Amino acid sequence: MDQTPERPSHSETVTFSIPEDAVRSPRRSSRIKKNPSVTPRRFNKFFTPRARNLQRAVRSSRKALHDLSAATLNSRADSVHRPSKRRRISFSSVPSLPSSPIRKGPASVVTNANVEFQGLGPAPEAFAECFTTDDDYEDEDIPGTTRALPPPLIPYRAISTSAAALSRRLGVRNRVVEANGSNLWQHETANFYSSADDFYSYNRQVASLPFCATGFKTVSLVAVGDEDGTVRVHDACSQDQSYNQVFLQMHPHDNAVMDLELSEDDALLATASGDQTCRIIDMKQQVSTHTLVGHTGSIKRVQFQPGSGNNLLASCSRDGSICLWDLRCAKAKGSTMFQELRRESATFLESSREVNTINDIRDAHTARNNLSSKGRRQHIPISARSDFAVTTCAFISASRPHLLASASENDAVIKLWDMRTSYKQRSGGPNPISATLEPQSHQNHRQFGVTSIAMSTDGSRLYSLCRDHTIYAYSTAHLVLGSAPEMALSSSALRPARQPRQPVHGLGPLYGFRHPSLRLQTFYDKLALRHMSNDHTEVLASGSSEECAVLFPTDERYLNKAARRQPENATLAPRLRRATSSSSSSDAPLPIYYHGTALVNAHRKEVTAVAWTRNGNLVTTADDYTTRCWREDAAQARMLRLNSERDVRRYQSGWAEVPARYDEDDDEF
């Protein structure tokens, strides 16, 4: 213990300062510590700026770092945002340069693009351009730059006419932005043609005028009735099958056949004749099974009620009445009503049974003023009554099979009837459920009658062919809801439905169609609609006294301002000019559209009846004793218009009339 050396005091301790480049401890490496080398992988990881705008193209001077910029490494999705146009230069989105690629520490903010990196020297020019701000991009015109734009928003008012009316009602601005192709509707009507073999001459064969036509619903056949009481069936399937040959012939009447109608399954054919009767023909056996007796005038229209199993029919007559028939309420065979018929008809009708009406509406469109000044009903003498002919009728749709619309020769009013109601003869006359208002032009000048009506495919529109050379479009919903009891806010809504005392007036037409070639001089001109399907669009066809049929596409996307302009060099009738000036008045402006196409050079006299077949072909009948089949082929129609083959058969053919530049430069349309 005594020999243990004492610990020296602090004052006697000696301290040596060893330089850094001196010999180190043997436990540490003798290699001198240097800055780590920068590999391409580390360079991409730490020195690539974050992408601020993925849609911006890289300039040509940055091709060296194009791949590095497209990689978007070390970036987050939330860091990509739209920069403002005016802002200060900021590098918050550019990843900061750490003090060491290995050691994690506080980021050092780069304030100069020409900074020198340890061991690398000055930064290259390509890397300096990585710090270019967004303001530099906006001030430059980058060639070849394509920027993706968001999809355009379709205004609600541009969806349909009803949407546009609702937008105006809600106060939305009514400026309509038209599409570039305002004449695209011509692609739906310009492809129709009729060759020299697609006609049948009644003058050469039977010398009788064709009056009516209807297309089959399951096969591509068409039935045509003439003034001699004969019905002929033609094949309008394809051009290989010649239309000028008769597929089937029947003789159900000894008077003119005014209208034809087929059931949904084509099993029964209903004929309306000038002999004041209707025949129901079994198409399989080709014999008449029923005869409808009850009208006192020539029958103008007959219709099968949808969903009735081919048992219920409605007809309208020149005597001003509408009748409902039930084939299940037929009398026994052996009636003596066919004894005076000629032998040919008697053989055809020997198994026919007589059917009487189960419900009728007398004087359906007769206007009466049977109230005195004191409100008492007055008796109207027979000499003062004027029964107007009911020219046409049609069931609304399959969802409302009990509702029947009708029109007359007196005015343009469309009346709606409930065929479940008993319309017995009363002093005040029958009252419909609702009735439309007449157009403003009729109220200012004179009333014009309706020759034919047709329903749209979905039943939302009712089209009427009026004698003022106009096709009016009505809203079926407005007509049906004219007097709906469930819409009334009173206790009377709980009462059972009964016949109203006064007809509830609905709205007038929504818009109308006109064409310089659409002229109506008689009530024999009819209207037909091609229903929309997977292969065909919805198109209206109308007869005209201008020796042609006129087509109108019904798609409401074509109802723009361009279609409201009258065609150039159009010669309008005086009545049409007065109606046009009245319709465009500020009191009640009614949109009138002129986007129609005439089928010319096929007939030499007035075109009366039109009918569509199942395959989309059109059959027209005319007073020149001919019927024609119109097919749809763009190449054939253009060849006939341009007469490119210099064929003599062109003068026996017909085609759709279009502007001259349509065939010269088809890309503009």
Domain range enclosing 438: 191-366+386-484+502-567+589-656
Instruction: Look up the pTM and report it.
Output: 0.68
pLDDT tens digits, 267-305? 999 999 999 999 999 999 999 999 999 999 999 999 999
Distance CA 148, CA 450 (A): 54
- Say if residues 466 and 412 touch (Cβ distance below 8 Å): yes
In a domain, 138, yes or no: no
- Which residues 6+ apart lie within 8 Å of 541 measured at CB? 527, 528, 529, 530, 549, 550, 551, 610, 612, 618, 620
- Say if residues 301 and 315 touch (Cβ distance below 8 Å): yes
CA dihedral sign of residues 243, 247, 251, 252:
negative
Category of 646 on φ-ψ map: left (φ > 0), alpha (ψ -120 to 50) or beta: left
Helix (H, G, I), strand (E, B) or coil at 416: strand
Between residues 255 and 174, which one has the greater pLDDT? 255
Assign 46 a pLDDT band (cuts: 50, 70, 90): low
pLDDT tens digits, 76-105? 444 444 444 444 444 444 444 444 444 444
In a domain, 97, yes or no: no
In a domain, 85, yes or no: no
Q: Which helix (H) or strand (E) holds 150?
A: none
Domain total in the chain: 1
In a domain, 34, yes or no: no
In a domain, 630, yes or no: yes
Return the closest-CA partner of residue 565 out of 602, 592, 533, 529.
Answer: 592
CATH of residue 557's domain is 2.130.10.10
Category of 13 on φ-ψ map: left (φ > 0), alpha (ψ -120 to 50) or beta: beta
In a domain, 458, yes or no: yes
Q: What is the 3-state composition of the chain as percent helix, strand, coil, each rounded to the nearest 5?
A: 20, 25, 55
Following DSSP, what letter does each residue of 183-236 receive, concatenated? TGGGGGTTTEEE-TTSEEEHHHHT---EEEEEE-SSSSEEEEEETTS-EEEEE-
pLDDT tens digits, 414-446? 999 999 988 876 556 788 888 998 888 888 778
pLDDT tens digits, 447-491? 899 999 999 999 999 999 999 999 999 999 888 876 444 434 343
In a domain, 391, yes or no: yes
